[in-house]
Amino acid sequence: MWRVVRWLVVGWLAVSAVVALAVLWAVFVAP
């Protein structure tokens, strides 16, 4: 149970970090 919850949290953090990097790249690098 807790292992699954921990992996979900880690996965969510990884996805949110990738999304944040993509947004920063789109804002600062793409233009």
CA dist 2 and 19 (Å) reads 25
- Residue 1, pLDDT score: 86
- Residue 31, pLDDT score: 77
- Residue 30, pLDDT score: 81
Where exactly are the structural domains of the chain?
1-31
Using alpha carbons, list the distances in angstroms from residue 23 to 2, 14, 26.
31, 14, 5
Query: Which tens digits make up the pLDDT trace of 1-31?
Result: 899 999 999 999 999 999 999 999 999 998 7
